[in-house]
Amino acid sequence: MKPIFKPGKNIAVKTPAHEYDSVVAFYRDVLGFRQLPIDEPDPFESASFEFGDKVLWIDRIEGISQSEVWLEVTTDDIIAAQEYLRASGCSIRNEIERLPDSVNGFWLSSPSNIIHLVVGS
């Protein structure tokens, strides 16, 4: 049976370290988006903003040359989702970033190399 997939609440922009401050200032100062507090330990230097019903994360990443957009997808059955996606020829990419133990999910790459965090709902 095919698992159910839905959009998640998070969008991450992985930003080169040399552009981080100007990207945060763009969303905060130029566009005037409300910056949200970050309550959990932050493995990166990050800022988060209200983005409609989503949260836009700006993560400062050393060693990348251009920004990447990463999306979150939720599923009703995380084990079936991983099996289904793998059988559908999708690339599971858990090596790209360690997830906290509290996250019931995995990393997935779309055919166009957009990274998705797939989490159990």
54-104 pLDDT tens trace: 999 999 999 999 999 999 999 999 999 999 999 999 999 999 999 999 999
Chain centre distance of CA 110: 13
Q: What is the CATH number of the domain that holds 31?
A: 3.10.180.10
Distance CA 11, CA 85 (A): 21
Instruction: Give pLDDT, residue 16.
Output: 96
* Domains in the chain, number: 1
Q: Which two tokens stand for residue 16?
A: 């080169």
Q: Which domain holds residue 11?
A: 5-120
Q: What global pTM score does this model have?
A: 0.86
